[in-house]
Amino acid sequence: MYVATLPFFPLVKQVYDIQKVKPTEQIMMQLYPEIYSCIGCNACSKACPQSLKTMQYIAYAQRGEYEKCAEESFDCVMCGICSSRCPAGISHPQVAILARRLYGKYIAPETKHLLDRVAEINNGEHAESVNAIMNTPVEEQKRLYNTREIEK
C-alpha cells in the first residue's frame, strides 16, 4: 500500500485587479459566468469535507450578496473537492475568494483604530517595536501570537 497526497483540484482562476473590480452583480457574471449554470444538485455541499454550505454561497454570489457569500465561505480552505463534483464546472473556491476580497475591500466598514495604527507605523512612531518583533525568533513570535489577548 502507498500513501500519497493528491494535488489540489485544478480550478479556473480568473485574473483581476481588485483595485479595478467593484462589487456589482456583473463582476461575477464577467469573471465566473459558470455559476449561473448551477443546477442545484448540492453535490458541492455534500462533497465538502468541512460541511460548508457551498451551494448556498454560490447562490449568494449569483445574487451579488457578497457579504453573505463571504461569511458562508469564510472557512473554505480551497481544496477544490466541491469543484471536482460539480457537473456545471464551477470553481467554487475562486468565487468564494473573490466575494471575500470584494467584501473586505468595498463593503466591510473601515476600522478606524487599524487605519490610525497603520498611519502611526508609516510615520515611524513604532520603529523600535517593529524592529524588536522583526528580530524576535519565529518560535517566540508564534508563542506570543498564540497566547495574545483577543479583544472582543
Tell me the domain boundaries of the chain: 25-107, 112-146
Residue 2: pLDDT band (50, 70, 90) is low
Decide if 67 contacts 94 (C-beta within 8 A). Answer: no
Tell me: pLDDT of 92 over 80: yes
Phi-psi region of 7 (alpha: psi -120 to 50; beta: other; left: phi over 0): beta
Residue 56 CB: number of other CB atoms within 10 A?
A: 16
Give pLDDT tens digits for 94-123: 999 999 999 999 999 988 998 999 999 999
φ, ψ (nearest 5 deg) of residue 17:
-105, 115
Residue 5: pLDDT band (50, 70, 90) is low
Separation in Å, CA 52 to CA 24, 26, 100: 24, 25, 15
pLDDT for 7 equals 58
Give the Cα separation of 13 and 80 in Å (integer): 12
Task: Copy the grid coordinates of residue 134.
Answer: 522583526
Give pLDDT tens digits for 29-70: 999 999 999 999 999 999 999 999 999 999 999 999 999 999
Give the Cα separation of 23 and 104 in Å (integer): 10
Residue 86: pLDDT band (50, 70, 90) is very high
- Give the contacts of 91 (CB within 8 A, at least 6 positions apart): 11, 12, 13, 32, 34, 80, 83
Give the Cα separation of 30 and 92 in Å (integer): 15
- pLDDT > 70: percent of the chain: 94
Tell me: pLDDT of 8 over 80: no
pLDDT for 110 equals 87
